[in-house]
């Protein structure tokens, strides 16, 4: 079993090297820290499909932004909803001239609903800078200003953090999921700082209109369930544009947690499968890192029969935890979320467990369910 110990330590060494590089990259991902700048005209696009219960709160949060009212518009795209989403938008807007409601009744078969809705929304936008969020998201009053202030020079795309909204003071599940988002995006934004952006979450991005027109809109990205990851890859390939991360509490967007374990797994499998298809060679480091999550519990099981392997597995897990703690705690402190750090021991076990589960499920699954629709892989 000595060979397995060698494999385990090799994977751990690679993992530690990558995490350390991402940790360093995080300090370069948001170089200026979001200083104030001129206020361009902005459009906030909110695609909504059967979000009658949540779109009102999201729209109120966007309309209350600390940004010149005459320079901001909100484009809500009702994506073939069968509930009262459109009516709720009209009730919430109450004649506010900044709100445009776009009703989508048809989706081309070669696009996902989200891609089609975003492109229909873009047609109605008049802003120089466009921000995307989702109907189930909430944000602080300076969200628009914080994101837009980072679009300067050659920066064409700004990516922000998305955390989970707490439903109560002692909501362990939401806090654990927030830590997961913080850790994953902290790693992704470390890659931004290293000049190799690989991923983001589409409910908190801002980009120049000129950039999305050059790309050809979301429909030109090809059919994908991770249009956000595909967009960031398109930007990476274009030398005239850069990507910047908004590592700022004021730029954070909050979303609701998945309703159950099945919805959580479906979301993570969509991210994994979609990401593997869109990120090209940049996804290669992810594969041995995922393999490490499989090997650690196997090492502990084999260690029952061969004690030295048990010690090696414990050392590898401890080293991995230390690296993950370094990345997560640094990000948490920058976002003023120090309370999440205390959950790291529990999160480490959660991360290993669900990484194994989504990898197995992702290999077996032949379809992805998203927003009430099914897409073949």
Please tell me whether residues 12 and 71 are part of one structural domain. no
Q: What percent of the chain has pLDDT over 70?
A: 90
Q: Tell me what the mean pLDDT of segment 321-348 comes to.
A: 97
Please tell me whether residues 251 and 216 are part of one structural domain. yes
pTM, two decimals, is 0.91
Please tell me whether residues 20 and 89 are part of one structural domain. no
Please provide the average confidence, as pLDDT, over all residues in the chain. 90
- The more confident residue out of 141 and 269 is 141
Each residue's pLDDT tens digit, 31-88: 764 445 679 999 999 999 999 999 999 999 999 999 999 999 999 999 999 999 999 9
Say how many residues make up the chain: 377
Nearest by Cα to 7 from 296, 283, 287, 285: 296
pLDDT (0 to 100) of residue 262 = 83
Show which of 279, 313, 337 is a domain's final residue: 279
pLDDT (0 to 100) of residue 34 = 46
Residue 169 predicted with pLDDT over 80: no
Confidence of residue 245 (pLDDT cuts 50, 70, 90): very high
Confidence of residue 307 (pLDDT cuts 50, 70, 90): confident
pLDDT (0 to 100) of residue 301 = 92
Domain with 56 in it: 32-279
Confidence of residue 276 (pLDDT cuts 50, 70, 90): low
Question: Which has the minimum average pLDDT: 135-144, 262-271, 338-347?
Answer: 262-271
Confidence of residue 101 (pLDDT cuts 50, 70, 90): very high
Residue 347 predicted with pLDDT over 90: yes
pLDDT (0 to 100) of residue 377 = 54
CATH of the domain at 85: 3.90.550.10
Question: Which has the minimum average pLDDT: 201-215, 257-271, 335-349?
Answer: 257-271
Each residue's pLDDT tens digit, 142-156: 999 999 999 998 999
Please tell me whether residues 191 and 336 are part of one structural domain. no
Work out the number of other CB atoms within 10 angstroms of the CB of residue 69: 11
Please tell me whether residues 108 and 125 are part of one structural domain. yes
Please tell me whether residues 237 and 361 are part of one structural domain. no
Please tell me whether residues 192 and 95 are part of one structural domain. yes
Please tell me whether residues 175 and 187 are part of one structural domain. yes
Show which of 279, 300, 327 is a domain's final residue: 279
pLDDT (0 to 100) of residue 33 = 44
Count of the separate structural domains present in the chain: 2
Each residue's pLDDT tens digit, 206-230: 999 999 999 999 888 877 777 888 8
What residues contact residue 7 under an 8 Å CB cut-off, 6+ apart?
295
Work out the number of other CB atoms within 10 angstroms of the CB of residue 262: 10
pLDDT (0 to 100) of residue 125 = 97
pLDDT (0 to 100) of residue 360 = 85
Please tell me whether residues 355 and 303 are part of one structural domain. yes
Each residue's pLDDT tens digit, 174-204: 999 999 999 999 999 999 999 999 889 999 9
Please tell me whether residues 142 and 39 are part of one structural domain. yes
- The more confident residue out of 361 and 96 is 96
Please tell me whether residues 223 and 151 are part of one structural domain. yes
pLDDT (0 to 100) of residue 293 = 94
Show which of 279, 296, 321 is a domain's final residue: 279
Please tell me whether residues 267 and 213 are part of one structural domain. yes
């Amino acid at each position: 079993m000595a060979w397995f110990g060698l494999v385990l330590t090799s994977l751990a060494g690679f993992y530690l090297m990558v995490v350390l590089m991402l940790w360093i990259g995080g300090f370069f991902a948001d170089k200026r820290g979001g200083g104030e700048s001129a206020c361009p005209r902005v459009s906030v696009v909110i695609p909504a499909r059967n979000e009658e219960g949540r779109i009102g709160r999201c729209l109120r949060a966007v309309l209350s932004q600390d940004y010149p009212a005459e320079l901001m518009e909100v484009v809500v795209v009702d994506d073939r909803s069968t509930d009262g989403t459109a009516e709720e938008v009209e009730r919430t807007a109450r004649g506010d001239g900044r709100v445009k409601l776009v009703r989508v009744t048809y989706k081309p078969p070669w696009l996902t609903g989200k891609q089609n809705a975003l492109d229909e929304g873009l047609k109605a936008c008049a802003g120089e800078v466009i921000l995307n969020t989702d109907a189930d998201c909430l944000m602080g009053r300076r969200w628009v200003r914080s994101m837009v202030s980072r679009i300067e020079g050659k920066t064409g795309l700004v990516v922000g953090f998305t955390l989970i909204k707490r439903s109560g003071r002692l909501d362990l599940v939401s806090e654990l999921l927030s830590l997961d988002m913080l850790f994953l995006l902290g790693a992704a934004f470390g890659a931004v700082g290293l000049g190799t952006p690989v991923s983001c979450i589409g409910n908190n991005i801002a980009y120049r209109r000129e950039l999305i027109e050059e790309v050809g809109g979301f429909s030109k990205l090809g059919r994908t369930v991770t249009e956000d990851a595909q967009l960031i890859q398109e930007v990476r390939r274009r030398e005239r544009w850069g990507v910047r991360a908004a590592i700022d509490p004021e730029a954070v967007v909050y979303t609701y947690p998945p309703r159950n374990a099945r919805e959580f797994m479906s979301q993570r499998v969509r991210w994994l499968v979609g990401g593997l298809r869109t990120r090209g060679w940049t996804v290669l480091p992810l594969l041995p890192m995922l393999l490490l999550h499989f090997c650690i519990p196997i090492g502990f099981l084999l260690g029952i029969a061969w004690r030295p392997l048990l010690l090696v597995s414990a050392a590898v897990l401890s080293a991995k935890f230390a690296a993950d703690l370094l990345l997560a705690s640094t990000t948490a402190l920058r976002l003023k979320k120090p309370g999440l750090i205390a959950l790291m021991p529990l999160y480490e076990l959660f991360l290993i467990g669900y990484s194994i589960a989504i990898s197995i499920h992702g290999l077996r699954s032949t379809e992805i369910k998203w927003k009430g629709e099914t897409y073949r892989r």
